[in-house]
A and B are shown apart, each in its own frame.
Chain A
Amino acid sequence: AQSVSQHNHHVILSEAASLELGCNYSYGGTVNLFWYVQYPGQHLQLLLKYFSGDPLVKGIKGFEAEFIKSKFSFNLRKPSVQWSDTAEYFCAVSLTGGFKTIFGAGTRLFVKA
């Protein structure tokens, strides 16, 4: 069965610290990969996505993620976090052309000002 695993459920960082959130998936075919973000009191929105091509993708607000096919990973990074990055982050996977998207359990990030 397909699954998505996020390594950290809670992360606490100080402003200007670097961030890396891990995501691994188990899917046999060609995949589309996503990171979604949910700010407090808001609904989920797309942060970045990988469909094909350059495995290093850049998203909004300075976030980036790298797809490593051999490791089935799609880790999210940001060199310097801000207080406004406090949110819950979800990794998600869908089969290319498929209609089911599977989400990870989420990582709650708290950034101390």
Chain B
Amino acid sequence: NAGVTQTPKFQVLKTGQSMTLQCAQDMNHEYMSWYRQDPGMGLRLIHYSVGAGITDQGEVPNGYNVSRSTTEDFPLRLLSAAPSQTSVYFCASSSPLSSSGDTQYFGPGTRLTVL
């Protein structure tokens, strides 16, 4: 199993540009989440999904869109990038109904810089 994969690893955008961060998992996990990690603030939940076709907002959803058309994929879209979105983005998946419970499995992260 590859686990949770994310692309790209690094990205530089100009203010106003849009882009999509990709996330995929091959563990058949129902739940997937996007977090951003900023110094001194830990991980903050952006959006999450409890299954294909179902998404909901987390703590900091403004400026981001998500969709979940398949169990495996959960892309995060930045509609119009702003410098405040400079961060490291982590995708995670979990399977609360399995033996691992709410344990989150994280991808390697995408480091995004918005100029």
Contact = CB atoms under 8 A, between A and B. Distances in A.
Interface of A: 4, 6, 9, 32, 34, 36, 42-46, 49, 51, 90, 92, 94, 96-106
B108 A104 contact: no
30 contacts: A6-B42, A34-B103, A36-B104, A42-B108, A43-B90, A43-B108, A43-B109, A44-B43, A44-B90, A44-B92, A44-B106, A46-B104, A49-B101, A51-B101, A90-B42, A92-B43, A98-B96, A98-B102, A99-B31, A99-B48, A99-B94, A99-B96, A100-B45, A101-B33, A101-B94, A101-B102, A102-B45, A103-B35, A103-B43, A106-B42
Interface in B65-113: 90, 92, 94, 96, 101-104, 106-109
B58 interface: yes
B40 interface: yes
Most buried by A among B42, B101, B102: B102
Contacts of A49: 101, 103
9 nearest A-B residue pairs (beta carbon) = A103-B43, A105-B42, A44-B106, A94-B102, A103-B42, A43-B108, A43-B106, A106-B42, A32-B102
Interface of B: 31, 33, 35, 40-45, 48, 50, 58, 90, 92, 94, 96, 101-104, 106-109
A103 B43 CA distance: 6
A45 B106 contact: yes
B32 to A, nearest CB: 10
Contacts of B106: 36, 43-45
Contacts of B42: 4, 6, 90, 103-106
A51 B58 CA distance: 23
B43 A9 contact: no
Nearest to A42: B108
Nearest to B40: A105
A9 B45 CA distance: 20
A104 B33 CA distance: 16
Contacts of A34: 102-104
Contacts of B108: 42-43
Contacts of A105: 40-42
